[in-house]
Each structure stands twice: as structure tokens, then as C-alpha cells.
Amino acid sequence: MELLQASADGKFEVKPTGKSIVKAIGPLPEPHTLQLSNLDLLSGRFPVTYFYFYRRPFGKNYPLIIQTLRISLAKTLNFYYPFAGRIIQNPQTNEPEIICDNNGALVLEAEANIPLVNHDFYNLNESLQGKLVSIQPDFPLQIQVTSYTCGGISITFSFDHALGDASSFGKFLVSWSEIAQQKPITCSPDLRRNLRARFPPSYHPSLDQTFVKCTIEEISNIPSTNILLKRLYHIDASSISRLQQLASVKGKKRTKVEAFSAYIWKIMVTSIDEKHGKCKMGWLVDGRCRILKHENPMSSYIGNVLSLAVGEASCHRPGLMLARVVLGRDGPTVVVSSGRRFPVAELDFGFGNPVLGAVSSIIERSGVGYINQRPSATCDGSWTVSAILWPELATALESDSIFQPMSAADHLQL
């Protein structure tokens, strides 16, 4: 069987060994179409990939693990049936829609020719695309389970962003792990997609300054930039505390994410070419807890409730749109995203907790730098940081001791 792809030195190879389509089981609604909300349309349809690594499971062989994952996935899709649907373009509105027809999720199986301890966890350009992730557009949800020579396992979960945001995907993965462990699920997902613009439409003029209408082709063909490096870092708990102390002045305590953002900003401005007159930083904001002040009726809402903290963006039917900064039209920009509530250590599918959980994307072109932090699987206060960077920014961040290139031996105890 052909190898998916080998690294330049020929050391890391992944061989496909199986493929199956898993459909939801049990009673489902009649096939129907879900219209995307304004915020779904602002997601950009980028593929989002979460990847987890596990030590060799004790007492369970690989075929049994695959069987458990398939059976539990089918049961989970019964609760999250849009994830088993298709996303197609409506010819009348030219907007994507979710066709809930139980088309299924794609599950790929593969074998790697190295032990986990030899895996390059730092350079995601080498280790993800074409090896641990291979996107097929007919399936909005795709999973690849890869076994290693040491008996360890990696699982990559790739979602079309139209299905939802990090909160939605996190709830799906937690529900799946609970079902795999034969536990009751703790989230009853709200699949109604009932976020609608006010009528008559009204929006702030800053919308036109921040967002621009675009097509899926324009998103796929963002002009080439040097924002190409996909990296994974470890940040010690002591470094996070030190940044927070430095940022908290005059009796005002800053959050860890505020302090982290201030540090990135300070480093970022040193890496900008002088030809640019300005640079920007954005933050992805989850609107669920901001709908009502004292209660959160949207905590189980499945869909996109994210936007960039750069202006109002949810007041009229926008069509497919993206922030100008994401398309690379507003100068050098880094977007910071916090995954502090995303499940990492708790993602146990019945064969143990992961040693690493993180996020990335296999998009080949990006108009904006991206940095995401989340708790490490060790639960000791340290962070795992995923990044998409331009070379000068990567060099600047790595020149300090805070951003440590992820290492199997030093940070994952493999």
C-alpha cells in the first residue's frame, strides 16, 4: 500500500491501512437542511484539526480500540447528527447549508513507522498534513487513528468550521469520550441553529471596515504570504505566572490570557518589517456567555458563536464573509485564541488519558498569524501553544525561554 507522504529525510512515514464511513444509529429526524447563521458564515469554512496522542494502552489491542471508537462514534452522531451530514452550496442563495442526511463521518486508519518518542511534535508542517491529516471535502467530520511502533496512538479530528466552533467541537468530543466509557453524556446539544439577525436589519458602520464579503474560492486562494510555519510550543506554569505578575501593575491584576497577549504584542512589533506602517492583534471571542448577563442559555448551542474582537459583526445577513485581517488585507496581524476550557486531559475513550492535545489547521495559505493556548495534559498549570507564524516572529518568540519547542522527552515524558 502506498505511503501517504514521507518527511524530507525519509524517517517519518505513514501507511494507510483502512477506511470506513460511520453513520449515526438509532432514530433520527427526517432528512432536512440547516441554514447557517450569520456567525457560521463568518467562520470562513476553514478546516480545523484537533490532534491527541496516547501512550500504549494496557490490556487493549488496536483492533478493539478501533471497534470501540467506531461504535461510540455512531452513538455520538445520534446526538450530533448534523456532523454526519453534508455541506453544500445552495444554488439560489450561494450560501453553504448543512444537509442532515446521515451521510456519515469518515474514519481512516493508518500505521506510522516510528515510536512516539521519535515523533516531531514541534514542526507541525512535517508531521500533520498528508500524514496524520488528509482532508476529503465530502465529509465535514473526518477522523484518523494512527498506530505507532511503540503501541502508542494518535487521533486527529478534522471539522469543517461551518459545523461549529471550538466550544461546539469540544462538547462533541467530550460526549464521544463519555459514550466510549459507557457514561451518560453531560451535554444535551442544542442543534436548532436559531441565531438570527434582528429584523429589520441594523448594523454598525464599523462592520464594513472590519469584514469583507468573499467567496469560498477567494478563501481557498488567499494571496501567498510568508505566514507558513506551523509550530507547537510548551510554556511552563512558572513562566505564565511571571508574565501575569509583570502585567499586573498599580494594583490591577491581569488575567493570564491578557498577560500572554501583552507579551506576544511586545515580541510581535520587533518582528515587523519597517515597510509596514502598522500591525494589529485580534482576539477570538465566544459570545455564548455574553448573550445574557446572569445566565447562559446558549451553553449547549452547537454552531459558531465566535467573532474577532474588532467590531460588531452579527447584525445582518452577511453572506460568506471574513475579517479583512484574516484575508491578509490589513497589514501584519496575529489573532490570539484561548482554549482554556477545551477538553484535553479528560478526553479518554476508554484506553487512558492523552499525553498531548492541541489544535492546528492544514490550510496552506494564511493571511494572519494565529496563536492558541490551552492547558497541557499534565494538568500542572503549564500550557500547550499552537501557532501559525511568519519566520521573523517565530525566531523572536523562540529567542526567549518562554516559548519552548515541544519535545517528546522534555515535555511529554515519553
Q: What is the pLDDT of residues 234-270, one digit of tens each?
A: 999 999 999 999 999 888 999 999 999 999 998 988 8
Residue 409: per-residue pLDDT: 92
pTM higher than 0.75? yes
Within-domain flag for 7: no
ω into residue 31 within 30 of 0, thus cis? no
CATH number assigned to the domain comprising residue 89: 3.30.559.10
Q: How large is the average pLDDT for residues 51-72?
A: 94
Burial class (CB in 10 A: 0-12, 13-18, 19+), 401: exposed
Within-domain flag for 166: yes
pLDDT at 413 over 50: yes
Q: How large is the average pLDDT for residues 346-351?
A: 96
Within-domain flag for 3: no
Q: How many CB atoms lie within 10 A of CB 285?
A: 16
Q: How many CB atoms lie within 10 A of CB 210?
A: 20
Query: What is the domain range of residue 144?
Result: 14-192+202-411
Within-domain flag for 5: no
Within-domain flag for 4: no
Residue 122 phi, psi (nearest 5): -85, -50
Within-domain flag for 2: no
Within-domain flag for 88: yes
Q: What is the pLDDT of residues 97-141, one digit of tens each?
A: 999 999 999 999 999 999 999 999 999 998 888 899 888 889 999
Q: How large is the average pLDDT for residues 342-351?
A: 96
Report the domain count for the chain: 1
And the C-alpha cell for 23?
453513520
Q: How large is the average pLDDT for residues 78-87?
A: 97
Q: How large is the average pLDDT for residues 24-33?
A: 91
Within-domain flag for 1: no
Among the ranges given (117-131, 145-159, 209-223), the one the predictor scored with the smallest mean pLDDT: 209-223
Residue 81 gets which letter from DSSP?
G
pLDDT at 201 over 70: no
Q: What is the dihedral of CA 67, 160, 309, 175, to 10 degrees?
A: -20
Q: For all residues of the chain together, what is the average pLDDT?
A: 85
